[in-house]
């Protein structure tokens, strides 16, 4: 009886194992059929034709606009605002009074000290004359001299205090929004407005150490900003730091640009481009066409395949190693691996391998701009 049960269990187990094996075989066959079908289905990609372009060797960087002279206007002393002599968003000249503090007490004290200084001067002159006539001693003249100097020093100190009750423009420039009102009490160091000299204007940026040899004082520079995407601003390299940042190994560079229309403002984000050599002709591709791998850089060429059943021409993919050079904007120069007139895949490479059938759709081309305008997000 026991033997019969074991035979039945073994038969059932064998049947189950057989069904599992049959199912796995079936799935492998179906997967093979599916993959084979996928291989035969054309993959849709976008393409471009390799061609020569005029290539100016350039250094590109991102920088920030900075006023040639710029400061926030703040008082050195505390006080109550008695007069405001400027309007928001207006030009001022060096020395113009911007705001005044109430100063009646300080002016009164100044006049008292000036009177004391006048008396000390009279005493000094009288003592000097009497010493000449030998009517008083030299010690008395020395005392008069010291008293006069002390009185004049007190007048100068009080005059400086009175002068600080008026805030003047330290240079020619353009003031921003007024942040104070008449009668308001201001603390020392509290911001009144901002003053910026906008023409010319600077742009500050950094470059890696490998590009230090390519830049020099006086080189032409062009600037683009998303505030004015259709306009190019030009200037010249003005200065470079005499050392590199030991952490980033970058050097700080400053360029100067004419800004007569005051379109460029301090703090504005901009991209800078510096031409470093003569124009050359180079084969170029969009950077999206290059697949970067640890073992090298590759592209997919579009080649003619075997005619289909209806005799129509087909296209297929062929992967090829390339050697790339410098980059500019959305483009990269290709030194080896492709030739003028080759058709190269620019999108859809992830689903390709050698001999994959292709269908081309270039209705929505990818960016291929030599000087794209950066967007300030």
| pTM of the predicted protein model | 0.60
Q: Is 209 left (phi over 0), alpha (psi -120 to 50) or beta?
A: alpha
- pLDDT (0 to 100) of residue 203: 92
pLDDT higher than 80, residue 368:
no
- pLDDT (0 to 100) of residue 376: 47
Whether 260 and 309 map to the same domain: the answer is no
Please report which residue ranges of 133-284 form alpha helices under DSSP H. 138-163
Contact 315, 300 (CB under 8 A): no
Structural domain range at position 203: 59-68+191-275
Average of per-residue pLDDT across 301-320: 80
Question: CATH no. for residue 253?
Answer: 2.40.30.170
Domain-located, residue 201: yes
Higher pLDDT, 13 or 100: 100
Sorting pLDDT into bands at 50, 70 and 90, what band is 37?
low
> Chain-centre distance of CA 18, in angstroms?
68
Cβ count within 10 A of residue 137: 12
Sorting pLDDT into bands at 50, 70 and 90, what band is 127?
confident
Sorting pLDDT into bands at 50, 70 and 90, what band is 64?
very high
pLDDT higher than 50, residue 170:
yes
Q: At what angle do helices 138-163 and 104-132 cross, to 10 degrees?
A: 160
Residue 252: asked if its preceding bond is cis (omega within 30°), the reply is no
**Cβ partners under 8 Å of residue 114, min gap 6:** 155
Domain-located, residue 183: no
| Nearest to 275, CA basis, from 235, 230, 228, 332 | 235
Share of the chain above pLDDT 70, in %: 91
Contact 225, 271 (CB under 8 A): yes
Whether 208 and 343 map to the same domain: the answer is no
- pLDDT (0 to 100) of residue 28: 76
Domain-located, residue 352: yes
- pLDDT (0 to 100) of residue 377: 45
Domain-located, residue 184: no
């Amino acid at each position: 009886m026991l033997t019969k049960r074991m035979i039945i269990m073994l038969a059932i187990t064998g049947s189950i194992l057989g069904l599992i094996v049959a199912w796995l075989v079936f799935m492998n066959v179906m997967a093979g059929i599916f993959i084979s079908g996928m291989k035969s289905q054309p993959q849709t990609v976008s393409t471009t034709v390799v061609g020569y372009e005029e290539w100016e060797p350039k250094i590109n960087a991102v920088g920030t606009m900075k006023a040639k002279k710029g400061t926030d206007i703040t008082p050195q002393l505390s006080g109550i605002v008695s007069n405001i002599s400027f309007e928001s968003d207006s030009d001022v000249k060096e020395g113009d009074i911007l705001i005044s503090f109430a100063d009646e007490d300080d002016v009164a004290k100044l006049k008292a000290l000036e009177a004391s200084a006048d008396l000390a001067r009279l005493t000094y002159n009288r003592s000097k004359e009497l010493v000449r006539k030998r009517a008083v001693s030299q010690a008395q003249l020395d005392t008069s001299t010291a008293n006069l100097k002390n009185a004049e020093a007190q007048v100068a100190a009080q005059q400086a205090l009175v002068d600080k009750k008026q805030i003047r423009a330290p240079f020619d420039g353009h003031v921003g929004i007024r942040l104070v009102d008449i009668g308001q009490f201001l603390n020392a160091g509290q911001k009144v407005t901002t003053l910026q000299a906008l023409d010319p204007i600077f742009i500050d940026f950094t470059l890696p150490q490998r590009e230090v040899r390519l830049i020099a004082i006086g080189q032409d520079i062009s600037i683009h900003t998303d505030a004015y995407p259709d306009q190019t601003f030009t200037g010249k390299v003005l200065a470079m730091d005499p050392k590199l940042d030991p952490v980033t190994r970058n050097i700080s560079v400053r360029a100067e640009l004419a800004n007569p229309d005051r379109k460029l403002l301090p703090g504005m984000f901009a991209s800078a481009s510096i031409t470093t050599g003569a124009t050359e002709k180079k084969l170029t591709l969009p950077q999206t066409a290059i697949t970067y791998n640890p073992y090298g850089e590759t592209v997919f060429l579009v080649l003619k395949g075997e005619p289909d059943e209806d005799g129509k021409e087909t296209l297929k993919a062929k992967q090829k190693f390339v050697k790339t050079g410098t980059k500019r904007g959305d483009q990269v120069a290709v030194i080896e691996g492709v030739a003028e007139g080759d058709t190269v895949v620019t999108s859809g490479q992830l689903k390709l391998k050698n001999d994959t059938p292709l269908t081309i759709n270039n209705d929505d081309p990818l960016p291929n701009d030599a000087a794209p305008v950066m967007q300030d997000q």
